[in-house]
């Protein structure tokens, strides 16, 4: 499996059988919208243009944009609605190649009930927003990591070059997590590569 980062809550996840793109953002963000082919498009808020700029995504993609379970090309995707103030944002459990990824998209409050969290089972990779303001703060994100206990954490939705949204950089979250991180352009791994103990923090360089 390989994971790459476009920016905000948009990622490219490549498995042996499928290419998944999550939450392609709009140019109103200040960033150049993601482009490329996908087999599966995962949208946390299909009616919010900032996070559903799909015009740059090519290929005959299946759209997973509602709560429920989907099975496509060796990938199982489970959409879970989380109430955020006066709206719902869907978070997604993505399973393939014996790897389980929980993508918290762009939520502001991690409010999964304990029994809901337990029903998800063990999480290998946690992707979560850390920039504050409209999404989780660094401290709230750190608490979510402690509750979920993943093997790898990939932060998202933080300040970067050209982004005009009012979010903070990733540094505060890194500090909350103990200050140790690995920076890379992309991460390729198998289940056996994940740490048996502790949490691996990976900060991905955005694709441009």
Residue range 120-153, pLDDT digits in tens: 999 999 999 999 999 999 999 999 999 999 999 9
Does the pLDDT at position 114 exceed 90?
Answer: no
Is 158 in contact with 166 (CB distance < 8 Å)? Answer: no
Is 76 in contact with 69 (CB distance < 8 Å)? Answer: yes
Q: What predicted TM-score, i.e. pTM, was given to this entire model? A: 0.96
Partnered with residue 96 across adjacent β-strands are 99
As for how many domains the chain has, the answer is 1
pLDDT of residue 81: 94
If pLDDT is split at 50, 70 and 90, which confidence band does 116 have? confident
Q: CB neighbours of 148 closer than 8 A, spacing ≥ 6?
A: 102, 117, 123, 126
Question: Among 63-67, 112-116, 160-164, 177-181, which stretch is predicted with the lowest mean pLDDT?
Answer: 112-116
Mean pLDDT along residues 63-80:
96
Where residue 153 sits, what CATH number does that domain have? 3.60.15.10
Does the pLDDT at position 208 exceed 90?
Answer: no
Residues 11-29: tens digit of each pLDDT: 999 999 999 999 999 999 9
Give the H or E element holding residue 174.
helix 171-176
Q: CB neighbours of 178 closer than 8 A, spacing ≥ 6?
A: 201
Provide the 10 A C-beta neighbour count for residue 48. 14
What domain range is 151 assigned to? 2-204
Distance CA 73, CA 17 (A): 6
């Amino acid at each position: 499996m390989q994971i790459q980062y476009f920016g905000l809550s948009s990622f490219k996840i490549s498995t042996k059988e499928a290419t998944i793109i999550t939450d392609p953002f709009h140019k109103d963000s200040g960033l150049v919208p993601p482009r490329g082919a996908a087999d599966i498009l995962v949208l946390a808020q299909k009616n919010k243009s900032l996070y559903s700029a799909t015009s740059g995504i090519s290929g005959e993609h299946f759209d997973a944009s509602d709560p429920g379970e989907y099975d496509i090309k060796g990938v199982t995707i489970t959409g879970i609605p989380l109430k955020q103030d006066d709206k719902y944002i869907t978070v997604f459990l993505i399973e393939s190649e014996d790897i389980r990824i929980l993508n918290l998209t762009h939520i502001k409050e991690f409010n999964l009930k304990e029994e809901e969290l337990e029903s998800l089972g063990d999480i290998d990779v946690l992707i979560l927003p850390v920039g504050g303001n409209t999404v989780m703060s660094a401290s709230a994100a750190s608490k979510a990591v402690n509750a979920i206990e993943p093997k790898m954490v990939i932060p998202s939705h933080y300040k970067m070059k050209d982004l005009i949204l009012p979010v903070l950089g990733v540094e505060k979250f890194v500090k909350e997590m103990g200050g140790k991180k690995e920076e890379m352009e992309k991460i390729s791994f198998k289940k056996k590569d994940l740490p048996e103990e502790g949490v691996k923090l990976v900060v991905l360089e955005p694709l441009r």
